Amino acid sequence: MSKLSLDRILQSQGFGTRKYCRELIADGELSIGGEVRDQYKESVETAGLVFSIFDEEWVYRERVYLALNKPANFECSRKPSHHPGVLSLLPEQFSWRDVQPVGRLDHDTTGLLLMSDDGPFIHAQSSPKKHIPKLYVATTAEPVSDELIEKLMNGVQLHDEPAPLSAQTCVRLGAYQLQIVLEQGKYHQVKRMLAAAGNHCAALTRTAIGRLSLAQLDLAQGEWCYLDEEHLDLLIPDEGAVP
């Protein structure tokens, strides 16, 4: 953290172009500690900075780390084509500061989605080489049989994959529902594995990434929250731990 001019601070936090941020400041829309600051060249310390724009309080964050409980029929893309993008569920400031989904969930898949403007973090969380387990609950079209569980655990061959892919764990939750943990992060992996094993995925939700779960965050569908250091620590692979 360091000192930055007020216009640079607002721009970095996603409030628009430098010119627009200067206009906001000149118009008296920025306050710090209840005091209006209208000189955009003024520099302030960013560490622990809390400021208000349009009477809404914001905490300065050099990088943002978010969790969203993604609803169905939203695309994990900055340029959605057939459905609204997940960024439409967040304040506009996050689009301005180039927040992006960490990996992708299909438009009809719900559940835990990470988002950030930290490139190395996005890469680390998206890379199959990191072996970060992800827990899904799948509703199936056909009953969940012992044979299906066995196939998913032993590995199924997917088209264009050099070797069979297997679940880290797989547990039957009900006649038409199972819980599966994967760490490879392949395209449409749960749906393709179920199809390769002789069933079909009727609905899918991701409930945990690493040791971070939706239950811990207590987010309703469509809700989001900031992730703090404690949450981020739960995303670091822990050998032998299954969410």
Residue among 193, 210, 206 nearest 109 (CA): 206
Residue among 140, 199, 190, 195 nearest 168 (CA): 190
- For 141-147, the CB contacts below 8 A with 24+ separation are 141/176, 141/199, 141/200, 141/201, 141/202, 142/176, 142/198, 142/199, 142/200, 143/175, 143/176, 144/172, 144/174, 144/175, 144/176, 144/177, 144/178, 144/199, 147/198
Local structure of 212: helix, strand or coil: strand
Maximum Cα–Cα distance across the chain: 69
* Catalytic member of 38, 106, 118, 238: 106
Identify whether 106 is a catalytic site residue. yes
- Active-site residues, by number, are 106
